[in-house]
A and B are shown apart, each in its own frame.
Chain A
Amino acid sequence: MLSGKFRSALVIGGQGIRARKLRTFLSMVSLFLGVLAVVAVQAGSEIAERAMLTDVELQSGKDGTVRGYVPGEKGAPAIVESTLKGRSDAVAMISSNAIIGEPGVRPINEGGMPFEYAGQGRGYYGPNMICDSNGTCHEQKQPEKKPDGQAIEVNMVALTGDIRPFKPFRPVSGSWLEFASAPSLAPRIVLNEEAAKGLRQYRVPGEMTIEGATHHVTPQIIGVVQDGDMQPRVYMRLDELRTWMPSATETTNPNQFRGGGTSLELFLQPGTDDLQQLLKAKLVGAGVPQDQMQFQTVKSKERMESELRIMRLIFLGMAFLVLLIGVAGILNVGLATVGERVEEFALRRAVGMSRMLLAGIVLAETLLTGLLTAALAIGAGAAGLQVALMMFGSRFPSLVGTAFPWEAGVAGVIAGLVAGVLGGLIPAIRAAKIPIATVMRA
């Protein structure tokens, strides 16, 4: 239950605001911009952080995910596949190269480079280098040049399960792979935007040549996703790929892995230490050197927060300065109002109100004004965000569906309260010091 004093302060504070609507409005105008600045800075930094995090998550995986790198040799893919079979808390990605289009020709974007650089040769990645065990490297001899043809080269990623709980790919069109049904002989593939761009840009036959496969494959394109990668990439089920491979995707040639051949990447949910240990034990048992296996937890948020902190502090400092101008406005109006209300305050004290409560009433009025302004500024911020998303959302896909961050709302309320206290404190002290006898005798 609220105390009598608190209720009295609220009732009288409310009466004061109603009685001086114009003054309250003027106080709110000066404060509005300050609170809005705080709300905008907080909302902006939260949204920027989320947008950056979303982009990072597309490539690195969600925060807390354990990411593992294992050489794709010595039967590692088969071991990983059998260990992860039927598990939803871990997914493996086996990457290789594939060519979609005419077989036996030089693809338009040789090496799987972005189409923006198509036709510039392998210069995009630089020459292929081969290093011996002593660390001496030399340029790999270029293979025999093939004739130019209608084909594009993509990075092909075979998945043991749904990767989206780890990497939140954004759907662009069609559907994503489903892993519950029986594998199809015509592998279903999902393109990333760059691969889709290549297929849109160049008319290539619907035939796919997968590195190491025994036959050419006719894939079914079922969807397009945004995966945050610049390189053209296609995703498919590993079991559908298996049909076309001689005996898993392993290779006995270690150089093939380094030169863009098979690579193996693992995504494990936090708290799957047992699985991690099991995988390591099996792989070491199969002869994979332990020092070539890496497992690390994704900590993108922590890294980004430290990057954003300084920027956020600078902007919040600027917003605080704007807020101070608003506080000065409230203070100015508050002092003028106390001067006008000397008789009222003296009378209230004469009828039994204590100095403390009188000060509380003046503070209650400025606090209510601050809160009201904060509510308006938060509303304006949320509305502004919606308008901005409607106008510019298509240019920034990571912002689509962004909600107004609650942190900005909290910051706005705190700013309103702080401004109310700072702006009302001196008028409150003055009101409490009004001498009843002098005023009532005048």
Chain B
Amino acid sequence: MTQSFEQPTVQVQAPLLQLNGITKVLKGQGEPRTILSGVDFTVHPGQSVAILGRSGSGKSTLLSLIGLFDRADEGQYYLHGNDITKLPERRAAALRSAEFGFVFQRFFLLKHLTAAQNVAMALVNGQGWSSPRKRKQQVMEALEQVGIAHLSKSKPTRLSGGEQQRVAIARALVRKPRIILADEPTGALDTETGNLVVEVLLNTTRQGCGLVLVTHDHDHARKMGRVMELRDGRFN
């Protein structure tokens, strides 16, 4: 099932990313299992895409391939029109830093760091260096963007689930990425907080950022510009 809800204000441009015929086979101890089979996928600037599907349908695997966490066994991956299918690890790390922002279901905040330090983590990753002052400014802007600048000095243990997820979103936004990849970001949140988080994510698309949201929640999916459903490693 593919629904199209393209927002009229967004002009369709050259794709941010394009996947052609992507196949991923899981080679474990048992028989190899095909997770994705010949998947085509495209995201344009400012476009938001929801990926729905049952557990084990390959949603998170697809997100891993898009985010360069893993490599496809077959198919082509183009980013800004450049073939990055066989990108070496070092370049992949640089692209993850420059192009992508990641939001996960479990937030993955470091407990010993404050909210600001958790956000700054994306800036202290060996991909260039900015002064502590500039870093602080960028961090505060990102926290401001998600509405929790006042909690910058709080440690994760003192934040609610929604606040923690917003810190995680700020971490994803602080490098001003072109694409946000969100893997069930509302899975651990109540409906109201989940809606708030989805709104925050959608806001980023208004600044030209692409958004890929993996979710089980149809209500959240409907808010996206495009909804795609994965079933048995293929888009319906």
Residues of chain A whose beta carbon lies under 8 Å from any beta carbon of chain B = 3-5, 7-9, 11-12, 15, 18-19, 343-344, 347-357, 435-437, 440-441
Contact = CB atoms under 8 A, between A and B. Distances in A.
Contacts of B183: 440-441
B90 A437 contact: no
A12 B124 contact: yes
B104 A440 contact: yes
B127 A437 contact: no
Given A437-B69, A440-B69, A353 B126 contact: yes
Interface string B5-39: 00000000000000000000000000000000000
20 contacts: A3-B129, A4-B127, A7-B129, A8-B125, A8-B126, A9-B126, A18-B112, A347-B108, A348-B121, A348-B125, A349-B96, A350-B67, A350-B96, A354-B90, A354-B94, A355-B89, A357-B125, A436-B70, A440-B104, A440-B108
Given A19-B112, A344-B110, A347-B108, A352 B125 contact: yes
Contacts of A350: 67, 69, 96, 102
B55 to A, nearest CB: 11
Nearest to A356: B90
Contacts of A4: 126-129
Interface centre among B60, B108, B122 (most CB of A within 10 A): B108
Contacts of B96: 349-352
Contacts of B76: none
A442 to B, nearest CB: 8
A441 B183 CA distance: 8
Contacts of A355: 89, 93
Interface in B191-230: none
Contacts of A357: 125-126
Contact of B124 (A8, A347, A349): A8
Contacts of A435: 69-70
A131 to B, nearest CB: 83
Contacts of A18: 112
Given A350-B69, A351-B97, A11 B108 contact: no
B64 interface: yes
Contact of A352 (B61, B64, B110, B127): B127
A122 B124 CA distance: 84
Interface centre among A8, A11, A441 (most CB of B within 10 A): A441
Interface residues of B, number: 31
A343 B110 CA distance: 9
Taking chain A's interface residues, is the majority helix, strand, or loop, or is none over half, making it mixed?
helix
Nearest to B108: A347
A18 B113 CA distance: 10
A354 B69 contact: no
A353 B93 contact: yes
Contacts of B113: 15, 19
A343 B118 CA distance: 14
A354 B129 contact: no
Interface string B67-81: 101100000000000
B171 interface: yes
B98 interface: yes
Nearest to A20: B112
B39 to A, nearest CB: 16
A25 to B, nearest CB: 16
A441 B126 contact: no
Nearest to B91: A354
Contacts of B127: 4, 352-353
Interface string B82-123: 000000011001101110001010001010110001000110
Best-surrounded residue of A19, A347, A435 (most CB of chain B within 10 A) = A347
Q: Which 4 A-B pairs have the closest CB atoms?
A: A352-B97, A4-B129, A19-B112, A437-B64
Nearest to B104: A440
Contacts of A348: 121, 125
A391 to B, nearest CB: 44
Contacts of B124: 7-8, 11-12
A352 B108 contact: no
B139 to A, nearest CB: 13
Specify which of B61, B117, B127, B171 lies most central, judged by the most chain A CB atoms within 10 Å of its CB: B127
B112 A353 contact: no
Contacts of A8: 124-126, 129
Contacts of B129: 3-4, 7-8
A441 B60 contact: yes
Contacts of B67: 350
Given A351-B122, A352-B125, A437 B70 contact: yes
A347 to B, nearest CB: 5
B134 to A, nearest CB: 13
A353 B64 CA distance: 16
Nearest to B181: A350
Contacts of A3: 129
Contacts of A12: 124
B125 to A, nearest CB: 4
Nearest to A16: B112
A349 B97 CA distance: 9
B74 to A, nearest CB: 17
